[in-house]
Amino acid sequence: MLAEALNFAATWPLTKPENRPFVRASVNLWSRARRVSGAWRDHEDNCHRAVLFKAKDLRLRRTAVVLGSGLLRDVPLDMLARAFDTVVLVDRVHLASVRMGLSLKKFPNIQLVERDLSGYGDLKAGRDPEPFAFLRHVPYLDFVVSANLISQIGIGAGRLLEKEPPGAMPADTVTRLVSAHFDGLAGLPAATCLLSDISFAVIDRNGHTHERQDLLAGVAHPEAFASWDWPVAPLGEESPDYRVVHRVIAA
């Protein structure tokens, strides 16, 4: 608990006030990743391979952007930093632990951008969501990675909707935000790699599935070139009797 408290306290002043409510969730994810690192290793390796596969044949390697950079566990940062002139890491929260790790690596070409990538604010203001409009101003953009971000947008939007007064947001908010993410990636003038968990299942210790849920609000995802299971919560993490497994695609 001490490590979590220190990370939270160090991250809070480094984070914009509007994004500080999300610091706790980021610290909790960091803490879980440390506890179950062995169970997550195959997932992280698969993510790295997918990004390397999409980047290997690029003729130009000027600027790469990672959307939802998070804990930097699911992107091959060292490779990106060596291969591209500039690497931009975009997320709502950049934990102090992540910042410290980056400072130790001493890559001069890495930039941090703190930004909401959901498009929720656009919808709330009555506009069509354009979460990646800011990328139009990134010079020499050659590669964009969306790193296990879309499902978190849907989950986060669902929580925000619970706090909104009736009728304040469109009934299809989550669907529109997920669609805007896919459409935004497809419309970028750059090569892209989409990493996304698309569903999850709750499975007991005997292998029986008790719950299965779509994480994309019914929106069809682009054709995948790879897919795998990610044991987000192994047995004993959330319950001694159940594990939670997400299905992940690379597209």
Domain membership flag for residue 241: no
Q: Please give the structure tokens belonging to residue 73.
A: 């566990």
For 95-115, how does the pLDDT look when each residue is reduced to its tens digit (9 = 90+)?
Answer: 999 999 999 998 999 999 999
Domain membership flag for residue 150: yes
Question: What residue numbers bound the domain in which 183 lies?
Answer: 2-43+51-191
Q: What is the CATH number of the domain that holds 9?
A: 3.40.50
Please give the tally of structural domains in the chain.
1
Query: What percentage of the chain reaches a pLDDT higher than 70?
Result: 100
For 199-214, how does the pLDDT look when each residue is reduced to its tens digit (9 = 90+)?
Answer: 999 999 999 999 999 9
For 81-100, how does the pLDDT look when each residue is reduced to its tens digit (9 = 90+)?
Answer: 999 999 999 999 999 999 99
Domain membership flag for residue 199: no
102 to each of 105, 147, 182, how far by Cα in Å? 5, 18, 29
**Which helix (H) or strand (E) is 214 found in, with range?**
strand 209-214
For 37-53, how does the pLDDT look when each residue is reduced to its tens digit (9 = 90+)?
Answer: 999 999 999 999 999 99
- DSSP assignment string, 110-126: EEEEE---S-HHHHHTT
Domain membership flag for residue 216: no
Q: Are 130 and 40 in contact (CB under 8 A)?
A: no
Domain membership flag for residue 202: no
Spatial separation of the C-alpha atoms in residues 50 and 45, rounded to whole Å: 9
Q: Please give the structure tokens belonging to residue 249.
A: 């695609």
Domain membership flag for residue 134: yes
Spatial separation of the C-alpha atoms in residues 70 and 192, rounded to whole Å: 18
Q: Please state the pTM of the whole predicted model.
A: 0.94
Domain membership flag for residue 63: yes
pLDDT value at 165 more than 90: no
Mapping DSSP to helix (H, G, I), strand (E, B) and coil, where does residue 147 land? strand
Average pLDDT, integer, range 111-134: 92
pLDDT value at 166 more than 90: no
Q: How confident is the model at residue 80 (pLDDT cuts 50, 70, 90)?
A: very high
87 to each of 61, 78, 100, how far by Cα in Å? 10, 10, 17
Q: How confident is the model at residue 168 (pLDDT cuts 50, 70, 90)?
A: confident
Domain membership flag for residue 141: yes
The pLDDT value recorded for residue 247 is 97
Residue 5 identity: A
Q: Please give the structure tokens belonging to residue 87.
A: 């690497």
